Amino acid sequence: MSTTLVSRRPVSRRPARTGAAPSSRSRGKLGPTIVLLIGAFYCLIPIVWVITASSKSRSELFSTFSFIPGSGFLDNLQSLSSYSGGIYWQWALNSLIYAGGGALVSTLVSAGAGYGLAKYRFRGRNFVFTVILAGVMLPQITLAIPQYLLMSKLGLANSYWAVLLPTLINPFGIYLARIYAQASVPDETVEAARIDGASEFRIFRQVALPILVPGLVTVFMLQFIGIWNNFLLPFIMLSDDTKFPLTTGLYLLLNQGTGQPALYSLAIMGALLSIIPLVALMLFLQRYWKLDLISGSLKG
């Protein structure tokens, strides 16, 4: 079973590249490569910028050319680290808690729901599925204040739970889990286990879950990145800056208030550091992504 980012084509489409390359082929060779490299270059521009900008001291930031590195990288790092008693690292830890914890539990929730929606035929199945999917269309801003009031009623406002709980419901994750369960967990196997006398939950746990793991990794990753990058929810829920995640914390650095200058150098260094974990995560776990789910190309 393939675990690469993109599944292999079962039959190779063209004859393997032979040694003799006709001249027309070699002209066509470079064009697409160059276009792609231009695209790659375009996508990397701001990232290169943030790397060089974070190396500039406060005075260099606005006076030197963008892509020339400056002399202040370590200074900026130290300023950021010591800002408000090292709160940046607390923000980083919080992001990890919110994203890691939230994505983990929400993946389990999605797995259960996806499995239930995929492997059983019951009345109201499509209705439930459609309603859950419609949740994707609700703008976060509209939900923000009512969610905040709800949390307050439960006495949970300004707590870690306030940011964790709303992220546990992930309609898109349920959608993906459903497709994956439908495509990869064979009905015959489930039936066989049933005949053997296993309970439904046991079937889920011992038969389905192991099969679902590769797809669930994708669901986990998507939700992890989504929560890590989420700004509005923690912004509304939290008033204690020691509980902020990185997004809200960086926003605070940039919006101290009228007449207070934004702490651009700190924010830029902070932005750079906050991107690194995600980039690393994406690069290292590339082979576990199963994005065929999303493209709807899995056929049951």
Partner 1 sequence: MSSTVSSVRRPDVKVSPKARKGSLQPRVAPWMFVAPALALFMAFLLIPILYAVYLSFTRLKVTTGGAFGARTQVFVGFDNYVLSLSDPELLASLRRLATFGIISVPLTLGLALAFALLLDLPQIRYGRFSRTAIFLPYAVPGVIATLLWGFLYLPSTSPFNYVSRALGLGDINFLGLPGLYGSLANIAVWGGLGFNMIVMYTALRSIPGEIYEAATIDGANEWQVAWRIKIPLMTPALVLTFLFSLIATLQAYGEPQTLKSLTSTISFTFFPLMKVYRDAFGNDDVAGAAATSVVLAIGTLVISLLLLRVLQRRAFGEEK
Partner 2 sequence: MKITRTTAALASLGIAALTLAGCSSAGASTEGSTSDTETAASGPVTLDYWGWAPNMQKVVDIWNKANPSIQVKYTEAAGASDLPPKLLSAERAGNGPDVAQAEYQKLPSLVVGGVVKDITDNVKSFKSEFTDSSWASTTLNGAVYAVPQDAGPMMMFYRADLFAKYGLDEPKTWADFATAAEKIHAADPSVYLGTLPQDGGTFTGLVQQAGGNWWTADGDKWKVSIGTSPSTDVADYWQKLAKTGALYTQPFLTPEWNKLVADGKILTWSAGVWAPGVIESVAPDTAGKWAAAPLPQWKSGDVNTGFMGGSAVFITKSSKHPVESAKFLEWLNGSTEGSGYLASISNIYPASIAGQAGLASASVPTLMSAQTDFYSIAAEVSAHTAKVTWGPNVQTAFDAFSDKLQAAQTGGTSFSDALKTVQDLTVADLEKNGFTVER
Two structure tokens written together for 42: 């375009």
245 phi and psi, to 5 degrees? -85, 180
Q: Specify the stretch interacting with partner 1 by CB under 8 A; choose among 39-47, 76-84, 85-93, 96-104.
A: 39-47
Per CB under 8 A, which of residues 124..153 are in contact with partner 2?
124, 145-146, 148-150, 152-153
Q: Specify the stretch interacting with partner 1 by CB under 8 A; choose among 73-81, 83-91, 96-104, 262-270.
A: 262-270
Q: Could you give the CA distance from residue 266 to residue 260 in angstroms, rounded to a whole number?
A: 14
Closer to partner 1 by Cβ: residue 93 or 131:
131
70 is a site residue for partner 1 (CB under 8 A): no
Q: What residue 93 binds from partner 1, partner 2, none (CB within 5 to 8 A, per partner kind)?
A: none
Nearest distance in Å: CB 57, partner 1: 15
15 is a site residue for partner 2 (CB under 8 A): no
Q: Specify the stretch interacting with partner 1 by CB under 8 A; choose among 72-80, 84-92, 96-104, 121-129.
A: 121-129
Residue in 19, 139, 261, 296 binding partner 2, rule: CB under 8 A: 261
Per CB under 8 A, which of residues 42..61 are in contact with partner 2?
58-59, 61
Per CB under 8 A, which of residues 183..202 are in contact with partner 1?
183-184, 186, 189, 192-194, 196-202
Q: Could you give the CA distance from residue 143 to residue 146 in angstroms, rounded to a whole number?
A: 6
Two structure tokens written together for 144: 């923000």
Q: What residue 260 binds from partner 1, partner 2, none (CB within 5 to 8 A, per partner kind)?
A: partner 2
Give the binding-site size for partner 1 (rule: CB under 8 A).
Answer: 128
169 is a site residue for partner 1 (CB under 8 A): yes
32 is a site residue for partner 2 (CB under 8 A): no
257 is a site residue for partner 2 (CB under 8 A): yes
Cβ atoms within 10 Å of 85's Cβ, excluding its own: 10
Residue in 22, 23, 65, 260 binding partner 1, rule: CB under 8 A: 65
Q: What residue 241 binds from partner 1, partner 2, none (CB within 5 to 8 A, per partner kind)?
A: partner 2
Nearest distance in Å: CB 109, partner 2: 18
Q: DSSP assignment of the chain, as one string?
A: ---SSSPPPSS-SSPPPPS---HHHHHHHHHHHHHHHHHHHHHHHHHHHHHHHTTS-HHHHTTS-TTS--S-HHHHHHHHHHGGGTHHHHHHHHHHIIIIIHHHHHHHHHHHHHHHHHH---TTHHHHHHHHHHGGGS-HHHHHHHHHHHHHHTT-TTSHHHHHGGGG--HHHHHHHHHHHHHHS-HHHHHHHHHTT--HHHIIIIIIHHHHHHHHHHHHHHHHHHHHT--HHHHHH---GGG--HHHHHHHHH---TTS---HHHHHHHHHHHHHHHHHHHHHTGGG--TTTTTT----
Select from 229, 218, 225 the least CA-distant residue to 175.
Answer: 218
Q: What residue 224 binds from partner 2, partner 1, none (CB within 5 to 8 A, per partner kind)?
A: none
284 is a site residue for partner 2 (CB under 8 A): no
Query: Where does this chain bind partner 2 (CB under 8 A)?
Result: 58-59, 61-63, 84-85, 123-124, 145-146, 148-150, 152-153, 157-158, 236, 239-242, 252, 255-262, 264
